[in-house]
Amino acid sequence: MASPKWNLSEDRYFDPDTSTRSVARELYESVADMPIVSPHGHVDPRLFADEDSSFGTPTDLFIIPDHYVSRMLYSQGIALEDLGIPRTDGGKVEPDHRKIWQIFADNFHLFRGTPSGAWLAHELNIIFGIEEKLTGKTAQEIYDKIEAKLAEPEFRPRALFDRFNIEVLCTTDAAADPLTHHRAIRDSGWKGDIRPTFRPDNVVNLFTRGWNENIDALSKAGGITVDSYSSFIRALEERRGFFKSLGAMATDHAAETAYTCRLSDSDADAVFQRALKGKATAEDARIFTSHMVMESARMSIEDGLVMQFHVGSVRNHNDAIYNKFGPDKGCDFPQKSEFTHNLRAILNKYGNDTRLTLIVFTLDETSYAREASEE
């Protein structure tokens, strides 16, 4: 019997109601040919650093870096080691990418009706031109086809950047990042517009694993020895300038809650000194983050970088996964978010200044109908 084929409706992302759908299609058609401006994302700039960069194997592209995929498989009892996810201790994980792909294909039905499933179907059928659905039976044949495509020059990252008509793509980069790949892209003469985004979380959050090393890296990156709150602020300002020099338009900040408050400089320094000595408390960390959100708004008003603020994710919820595989492995869960009270301090201090553009993201959809509306 022939394998079932993909049959993706042109209208699959639109409302099923026919009158809503025809308006949606009309709106979509009016913008479908416009270039993509991607102001926030997590693409690795290394992919564009030289023209021969490739996505690796089908498993490198579809499975190993996609924690939505691996988390779904793990929820059904499949070990992350069997999916080739690297362990933080360097312990053995499955090296055979065809074997991993087979597990993925055997369990592909799990993604039915999920956003990951919609994404994967689009990639397989529309981007890679695979006609058969992915099943245990078609797994290896489809692996062959994708592998062959990935070897073609048309499937190099830079070629896809052009094919997708991307006008600008912003990445997310740590404060101390030397932006080597961004510089290499610029130096290469390639005309793709890839810009860094300044994300200082791993030096702002005093409880980040390796915070002291991150502070050292920050000192080295900008040549300013960070040994106090004031030198910390100077170092951040210097780095923001460096990011801007490589095209950055924005910063990005994450916190568990949207709480904002302002410390005096001397209180901020006292917290910072405790952190340097490894003696910061959880409350120090919480309040320092809240303070630094406000301080970042002050910097944004001065240097013009758009400020993005993400809240509501409780990270590394599963200790066993975090200890074995590290962060960003599908174990972050949303919590309730509160904005009306939490943002009051920052809005009262900086919100009436027309120079500030603050974009607040939420994972809690009830925020939209409640706190994002004026009463």
* Shorter beta-carbon distance to a copy of itself: residue 41 or 153: 41
> Is 58 in contact with 147 (CB distance < 8 Å)?
yes
Q: How many CA atoms lie within 13 A of 124 on its CB side?
A: 28
CB of 335 to a copy of itself, least distance (A): 5
- Beta-sheet pairing, 313-314 with 333-334: antiparallel
Sign of the Cα pseudo-torsion (289, 291, 295, 300, in order): positive
* Maximum alpha-carbon separation in the chain: 75
Least Å distance, CB 343 to a copy of itself, is 9
Beta bridge mates, 313:
334
Residue with tokens 């919590």: 335
Straight-line distance from the first to the last Cα atom of the chain, in angstroms, rounded to the nearest whole number: 60
- 192, 244, 347, 361: which one binds a copy of itself (CB under 8 A): 347
Do residues 235 and 222 make contact, with C-beta atoms less than 8 angstroms apart?
A: yes
Please pick, from the candidates 17, 141, 152, 167, the single residue that binds a copy of itself as defined by CB under 8 A: 17
Binding mask 111-150 for a copy of itself (x = CB under 8 A): ----------------------------------------
CB 320, min distance to a copy of itself, A: 5
81 binds a copy of itself (CB under 8 A): no
Stretch that binds a copy of itself, among 16-24, 127-135, 172-180, 258-266 (CB under 8 A): 16-24
Which of 58/330 has CB closer to a copy of itself?
330
Piece in contact with a copy of itself (CB under 8 A), picked from 55-63, 222-230, 238-246, 350-358: 350-358
Per-residue contact string for residues 287-326; x = within reach of a copy of itself by CB under 8 A: --------------------------xx--xxxxx-----
Neighbours of 279 (CB within 10 A): 9
The answer to the question of residue 335 lying near a copy of itself (CB under 8 A) is yes
Work out which of 55, 68, 207, 361 binds a copy of itself, going by CB under 8 A. 68
Write down the least CB distance from residue 11 to a copy of itself, Å. Answer: 10
Query: Could you tell me which stretch among 18-26, 143-151, 163-171, 276-284 binds a copy of itself (CB under 8 A)?
Result: 18-26
Q: Is 164 in the site for a copy of itself (CB under 8 A)?
A: no
Contact present, 357 and 307 (Cβ < 8 Å): yes
Q: Which of 367, 332, 360 is nearest to 40 (CA)?
A: 360
Nearer to a copy of itself, 125 or 367 (CB): 367
Q: Using CB under 8 A, count the residues that bind a copy of itself.
A: 41
Beta partners for residue 168, in sequence order: 37
- Smallest separation, CB 203 to a copy of itself (Å): 22
Q: What is the CA radius of gyration of the chain?
A: 23
* Whole-angstrom distance, CA of residue 347 vs CA of residue 307: 13
Tell whether residue 20 is a contact of a copy of itself (CB under 8 A).
Answer: yes
Joined together, the tokens standing for residue 2 give 């022939």
Length of the chain: 375
Smallest CA-to-CA distance from 242 within 286, 189, 296, 198 is with 198
Question: How far is Cα 16 from Cα 351, in angstroms, rounded to an integer?
Answer: 40
- Residues with Cβ < 8 Å from 30, sequence gap 6 or more? none
- Beta carbon nearer to a copy of itself, 52 or 319: 319
**Which CB, 16 or 95, lies closer to a copy of itself?**
16
Binding residues for a copy of itself, rule: CB under 8 A, are 16-20, 23, 68, 71, 77, 313-314, 317-321, 330, 332-336, 338, 340-341, 344, 347-348, 351-352, 354, 363-366, 369-371, 373-375
